[in-house]
Chains A and B, each alone.
Chain A
Amino acid sequence: MKHYEIFDKKDTRSGFGAGLLEAGKSNSEVVALCADLTGSVKMDAFKTAFPDRFFQVGIAEANMIGLAAGMSIGGKIPFTGTFANFSTGRVFDQIRQSVAYSNKNVKICASHAGLTLGEDGATHQILEDIGLMKMLPNMTVINPCDYNQTKAATMAIAAYTGPVYLRFGRPVVPNFTASDQKFEIGKAWMVNEGKDVSIFATGHLVWKAIEAGYILAEKGIDAEIINIHTIKPLDEAAVLKSVAKTKCVVTAEEHQRHGGLGDSICQLLARNTPAPVEMVAVNDSFGESGVPEDLLKKYKLDTPDIVEAVLKVLARKG
């Protein structure tokens, strides 16, 4: 099992803020819109650097999506920022018609996704956003794993033309990917090559998968771990190549089992090479208030849950 050094611990939303600032510096067409959460989604550095290209829209997310679509018509590259719940579920039809169907170059940037939003509870802990966004034609869906990767992804989507949903989170988590990485949209990232089982993880659970990999290695299990930062378009070739070797799969994500990464992997395998799959995901329930780490334990999204899922799927592989 490859060793990963934790450089520091940072929130992925700050990676977004840093990436947005860089994107703003390198391209004067980049504009940012925020629905009254500038500090929370870390858009303040962009706002300070480019006050004329920052638009405070107030608590009016539907309007924000429409404004962004309109600005893109004038050649701007709008980044909208609010919590993931208000970025997707609240404005699904606005995104569907004015952004996805109209194929506008809008970047919907969503913080505080998943259970690890923590104490605010289930009203804010959206676990359905990946599903909502990946169902939309034209939409690219990205869920990076740490600060460095979120920063790189933010800069990459500014250079890509088309609608993008970029999902990131609130808590401080290990920052372990390279600070100078080149982020390739749609390209799965090999975390660890192995032969016994394929673990496909996204977002915060990539680090949990690495921790699980160390535990599994002690048990003599050689896990292949792949970071699926782009859920759509899915790197189908990378997934199929891995499963051809390992013949069994664990998926890990901070999202509902219905509609998430695991769902995409299962569809792909069912259409190509069926293999046993265990899904580490929220099982058709809402979240609740609590400390992020406690929530991951209670909802079975933690390191031991990934280990357990691997043992289970290995038994099924036979």
Chain B
Amino acid sequence: MAEINELKRTASQVRRDIVRMVHGCKSGHPGGSLGCADFLTALYFDVMKHNPQFSMEGKGEDIFFLSNGHISPVFYSVLARSGYFPVKELATFRQLNSRLQGHPATAEHLPGVRIASGSLGQGVSVAVGAAQAKKLNNDASLVYALMGDGEMQEGQIWEALMYAAHNKVDNLILTIDFNKQQIDGSTVEIMGFDDISSKIISFGWQVLHMNGNDMADVVKVMHEAKAACGKGKPVFIIMKTEMGQGVDFMMGSHKWHGVAPNDEQLASALKQLDETLGDY
């Protein structure tokens, strides 16, 4: 399991990047970013075949879309750590004249970002379209996308789910960050759906389950998902995560969705996260 340990070490550095970035600009979204750190690390350091010499079209390589754009810190960290742009640029997050906008954008030409996201509900449609373009191009590589669970309250998500199944877009792996938290409280309180799995299955997708904070499970299920592609149905992964995973005082609550830690809290968080690849 050396490989899993290596991924865990990388994820620890990604988590350090997240809390440091959010602390540095005194804004941003640490909770969901920390929760998805294992998943994004596995994706960019193991699961996807991708080229850090970025091309917008991404022909012949796997491509990823982040629909819940507010967890940009984790996205930027894995992109930088996997070689898309200099790691030191993470220090410019959310600052004037930076390529690292609060929510991911293409306008500043940050390598690794193919679409703007932030206004929720749009990224799945984009991913489905990109997957269909790959089919038209006879490109056998895959499209990955991540969305939030609160994001499923947006109607466009269901339009895209319906369309992808009807059109057998089976080169697409869509993961939902099922942390059951959103800004105003828990998803159970706000717009609860008890059995997400049966809803997605009834929409015609294959559904897999994953513990998004267990690196071994993430790697195992993601490879199962790849194997499930090409069989006439798009693949949906219900990924259970803990918002704020890895920083004890940020876990178990929606309160750290969009709040930056102060100096003291940063110090406490960094004590819990090993510096494995060197801070930026």
A interface footprint on B155-191 (CB within 8 Å = 1, 0 otherwise): 1100110110001000000000000000000000000
Q: Which of B45-96 contact A (CB under 8 A)?
A: 56-59, 63, 65
Query: Contact at B125–A75, with CB atoms within 8 Å?
Result: no
Are A62 and B125 in touch, CB under 8 angstroms?
yes
Listed in ascending order, the chain A residues whose CB lies under 8 Å from chain B are 31, 52-53, 55, 57-58, 60, 62-76, 78, 93-94, 96-98, 101-104
Contact between B122 and A71 (Cβ–Cβ < 8 Å)?
A: no
B140 CB-CB contact with A under 8 Å: no
Complex contact A67–B128 (CB within 8 A)? yes
A114 CB to nearest B CB, Å: 27
Q: Given A60-B163, A102-B116, A103-B106, decide whether A73 and B56 contact each other with a Cβ distance below 8 A.
A: yes
Contact of A66 with B132 in the complex, beta carbons under 8 Å: no
Q: Please give 12 more A-B residue pairs, beta carbons under 8 A apart, in addition to A66-B123, A67-B128, A102-B107.
A: A55-B167, A60-B159, A63-B163, A64-B125, A67-B163, A70-B129, A71-B132, A72-B129, A73-B129, A74-B58, A74-B134, A104-B115
**Interface pair B128/A31, CB less than 8 Å apart:** no
If A71-B130, A98-B126 touch, does A31 touch B115 (CB 8 Å cutoff)?
no
- Chain A's closest residue to B127 (CB) is A70
Q: B143: shortest Cβ distance to chain A, in Å? A: 8
Q: Which residues of B contact A73 (CB under 8 A)?
A: 56-58, 63, 114-115, 126, 129-130, 133
Task: Check B136 against A31 for contact (C-beta < 8 Å).
Answer: yes
- Give residues in B with beta carbon < 8 Å to A: 56-59, 63, 65, 105-107, 114-119, 121-134, 136-137, 139, 155-156, 159-160, 162-163, 167
Question: Which residues on the A side are within 8 Å of B119 (C-beta)?
Answer: 93, 96-97
Is B125 within 8 A of A65, CB to CB? yes
**Are A69 and B126 in contact, with the CB atoms below 8 A?**
yes
Alpha-carbon separation in the docked complex, A64 to B59 (Å): 22
User: B132's closest neighbor in chain A, by CB?
Assistant: A71
Complexed CA–CA distance, A94 and B115 (Å): 12
Q: List 22 A-B contacts (CB under 8 A).
A: A52-B136, A62-B159, A63-B128, A63-B156, A66-B126, A66-B128, A69-B126, A70-B129, A70-B132, A71-B129, A71-B132, A71-B133, A73-B114, A73-B115, A73-B129, A74-B136, A96-B119, A97-B117, A98-B122, A101-B105, A102-B106, A103-B107
Is the Cβ of B163 less than 8 Å from the Cβ of A76? Answer: no
CA distance A58 to B56 in the complex (A): 28
CA of A101 to CA of B108, assembled, Å: 10
In the assembled complex, the Cα of A65 lies from the Cα of B115 at a distance in Å of 13
Chain A minimum-CB-distance residue to B157: A63
Q: How far is the CB of B65 from chain A (nearest CB, A)?
A: 8
Q: Of residues A57, A60, A69, A97, which shows the largest number of chain B Cβ atoms within 10 Å of its Cβ?
A: A97
Please name the residue on chain B nearest to A31 by beta carbon: B136
Q: Contact at A69–B115, with CB atoms within 8 Å?
A: yes
A93 to B117, CA, bound (A): 11
Give the distance in Å from the alpha carbon of A52 to the alpha carbon of B117 in the complex: 29
CA distance A69 to B15 in the complex (A): 31
- Least CB distance from A115 to B in Å reads 30
Min CB gap A71→B, angstroms: 4
Contacts of B167 in A (CB 8 A): 55
CA–CA, A96 and B104, complex, Å: 14
CA distance A310 to B131 in the complex (A): 54
Which residues of A lie under 8 Å from residue B134 when comparing CB positions?
Answer: 74
